[in-house]
């Protein structure tokens, strides 16, 4: 856990100036949120078949419940997410780790650079659509981003299962519904139409059939509450 926290500080010290979203901060080691997230992120990385030593994280001052992936296995989690039940937090972390394991950030960056150059040559410009989205035309990126999100959801199910969840699909579905309730709705008009994420209904449908009929349950490893 200590190695993961150290990695978090080192990675973000090098990258914060370039990519860290507004409101990013490092919680003190004594803050319960730090070891709690370090433990969850480490377990998710191992469950995803990756090395947790290279993972880093920071927090964002925001009541919105959300998680974000950046380059070099750096993750950002909001205060709003940390206020949620442990299964919700672990499902979100599993989803973000899935993006990293699947190489989505690097792939998206390559596409971003290519499209930025192409649109610049044509004299075209369109606004971005997300907190950490790169500067690209969202009309072109939309299908690519939607595919990534759906793929990451399926990988997150595998990660949650490896973390000990008996009902990983239901756990992720519950987390998605919880985040939707704590996340402001996208504004009407262009930004909503150009959103890179699939709709909640699309993501929930893709997770069906859900296991059982009860609340998310952990089989072998029950996360410690701080």
Of 35, 55, 85, the residue that ends a domain is 85
- Give 107's pLDDT tier (boundaries 50, 70, 90): low
> Do residues 121 and 50 both lie within one domain?
no
Tell me the mean pLDDT in the region 207-220: 66
- Per the listing, tokens 């989803």 go with 95
Residue 147, in any domain of the structure: yes
Q: What is the pLDDT of residue 195?
A: 57
Of 85, 113, 147, the residue that ends a domain is 85
- Give 145's pLDDT tier (boundaries 50, 70, 90): confident
Both tokens of 63, joined, read 């009541």
> Do residues 133 and 188 both lie within one domain?
yes
Cα distance between residue 173 and residue 171, in whole Å: 5
> Do residues 115 and 175 both lie within one domain?
yes
Q: What is the pLDDT of residue 30?
A: 84
Residue 190, in any domain of the structure: yes
Residue 128 structural domain: 104-207
Q: Which residues pair with 25 in a beta bridge?
A: 59
> Do residues 30 and 124 both lie within one domain?
no
pTM of the entire predicted model: 0.72
Residue 93, in any domain of the structure: no
> What are the start-end ranges of the H helices in 20-137?
33-47, 79-82, 86-101, 104-122
Cβ-contact 112, 98 below 8 angstroms = no
In which region does residue 37 sit, left (phi positive, over 0), alpha (psi from -120 to 50) or beta (all else)? alpha
Residue 212, in any domain of the structure: no
> Do residues 64 and 14 both lie within one domain?
yes
> Do residues 201 and 116 both lie within one domain?
yes
Q: What's the pLDDT tens digit per position in 156-168?
A: 999 999 999 999 9
> Do residues 69 and 114 both lie within one domain?
no
Lowest mean pLDDT among 32-41, 130-139, 187-196, 206-215: 130-139
Asked whether residue 172 carries a pLDDT value surpassing 50, the answer given is: yes
> Do residues 123 and 78 both lie within one domain?
no
Asked whether residue 57 carries a pLDDT value surpassing 70, the answer given is: yes
- Give 3's pLDDT tier (boundaries 50, 70, 90): very low
Tell me the mean pLDDT in the region 182-190: 51
Burial class (CB in 10 A: 0-12, 13-18, 19+), 116: middle
**Number of structural domains, the chain?**
2
């Amino acid at each position: 856990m200590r190695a993961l926290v150290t990695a978090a500080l080192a990675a973000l010290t090098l990258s914060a100036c370039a990519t860290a979203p507004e409101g990013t901060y490092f919680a003190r080691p004594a803050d319960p949120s730090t070891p709690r997230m370090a433990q969850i992120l480490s377990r998710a990385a191992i469950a995803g078949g990756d090395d947790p030593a290279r993972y880093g994280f920071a927090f964002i001052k925001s009541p919105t419940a959300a998680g974000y992936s950046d380059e070099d296995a750096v993750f950002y989690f909001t205060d709003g997410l940390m206020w949620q039940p442990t299964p919700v937090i672990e499902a979100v972390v599993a989803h973000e780790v899935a993006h990293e394991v699947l190489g989505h950030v690097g792939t998206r960056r390559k596409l971003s650079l290519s499209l930025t150059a192409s649109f610049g040559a044509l004299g075209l410009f369109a606004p971005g659509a997300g907190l950490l989205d790169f500067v690209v035309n969202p009309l072109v990126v939309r299908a690519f981003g939607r595919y990534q999100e759906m793929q990451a959801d399926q990988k997150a199910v595998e990660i949650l299962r490896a973390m000990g969840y008996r009902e990983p699909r239901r756990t992720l579905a519950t987390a998605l519904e919880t985040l939707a309730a704590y996340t402001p709705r996208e504004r009407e008009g262009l930004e909503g139409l150009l959103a890179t994420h699939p709709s909640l209904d699309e993501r929930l449908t893709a997770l069906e059939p859900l296991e059982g009929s009860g609340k998310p349950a952990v089989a072998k490893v029950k996360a410690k509450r701080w």
